[in-house]
Structure 1
Amino acid sequence: MATEDESPSPSDITVILKEQTSACKAARDAIAAGGEVVLYDGQPPQWMVVGIAATRLKRSLKIGLTTLGLDETVEILRARHRDEQLRTGNIVAVDRSWFFTLYFDSTGTELLACSGLKNERPSQENGQELQL
């Protein structure tokens, strides 16, 4: 297992992806299938990470994208770890069908939450288009 001075390896991440959110099993499966894992060195403040996750949730709901555990992630990050800096990472499924975001404590040793976003075209029900 990684220490505070090193980033967790993909196998470490598989072990710590327990049941923090409903996206954890799918993220573990993506790693097992050979998905790419990237951990970032930066430590943005909790309020910034929560804001990004909340905006992603709101936008995903508005345009009809499929998410896993994103609502749970927003609640976990809002309720805990205030005034802390967090670390993040990503898992991209081999077939690029899913993109997962990992949220760690500032040391990178405790996984707080995991969310998934399906790589799909937004629904056209409301005439909304994805703007990048």
Structure 2
Amino acid sequence: MERHLLMRLLTGDDEASVAALAALHGGATHVVWDGTPPAEPLARIYARRLRHTRRKGIETLGLDRAVQLLGRHDQPVRLGQVTAVDRAWIFMLFLTEDGGTLVACTGVRQTGEQAPL
């Protein structure tokens, strides 16, 4: 997906979308993968990640909101990722199957001790 199209999808006022958009404006790399997994298993996976980040004290943006939105989304999603230039943040994007709408966005601060989202 072209950068300008992805930027158009990140127009929400939630903190994760705002931060992901700012990262793209700042030169972040991005990718949107082929394939469309079902949202329900992703909601369960990201709920586990939410519990893990809370236990470890890892800073996140919008992870709880993303889990809720994925849990309510009954269609497959397309996954994307935005990686900040300094690699301090990685944002996961969950798009509608056709890539035309943002379903949810979450970000996790990266440290040397953790794997990316």
TM-score between both structures, scaled by the size of structure 2: 0.90
Is the Cα contact below 8 Å between 1:20 and 1:112 reproduced in 2? Answer: no
Which consecutive unaligned segments of at least 5 residues does structure 1 have? Answer: 1-7, 123-129
Measure how far apart 1:96 and its partner are. 0.2
Q: Identify the match of residue 66 of structure 1 among 59, 80, 85.
A: 59
Q: Deviations over 1:29-56 (max 9, x none)?
A: 1101110101010111111211221111
Corresponding letter in the other structure for 1:101: M
Q: CA deviation at 1:78?
A: 1.2
User: 1:76: Cα distance to partner?
Assistant: 1.1
Q: Take 2:90 and 2:101, find their aligned partners in 1: how far apart are those partners?
A: 20
Q: How much does 1:121 deviate? A: 5.4
CA contact (8 A) 1:98 1:116 kept: yes
More helix per residue: 1 or 2? 2
Structure 2 residue 41 is matched with structure 1 residue 48: yes
- CA shift, 1:120, in A, is 2.2
* Correspondence list, 1:14-33, <5 A: 14-19=7-12, 21-33=14-26
Taking every aligned residue pair, what percent have the same amino acid on both sides? 33
Q: Is the 8 A contact 1:30 1:93 kept in 2?
A: yes
TM-score (norm 1): 0.80
Change over 3 Å in CA distance of 1:54–1:120 after alignment to 2: same
2:108 is the alignment partner of 1:112: no
Question: Matched residue of 2:15: which SS?
Answer: coil
Unpaired runs of 5+ residues, structure 2, are none
Shift in Å at residue 12 of structure 1? 1.0
Determine which structure has the larger strand proportion and give its number.
Answer: 2
Q: In 2, distance between residues paired with 1:131 and 1:77?
A: 22
Which runs of 4 or more aligned residues in structure 1 lie more than 4 Å from their structure 2 counterparts after TM superposition? none
Alpha-carbon deviation of 1:131? 8.0
Q: Which amino acid letter does the alignment assign opposite residue 84 of structure 2?
A: A
Number of residue pairs matched? 116
Question: 1:21 deviation in Å?
Answer: 3.0
Superposition RMSD in Å: 1.8
| Equivalent AA in structure 2 for residue 106 of structure 1 | E
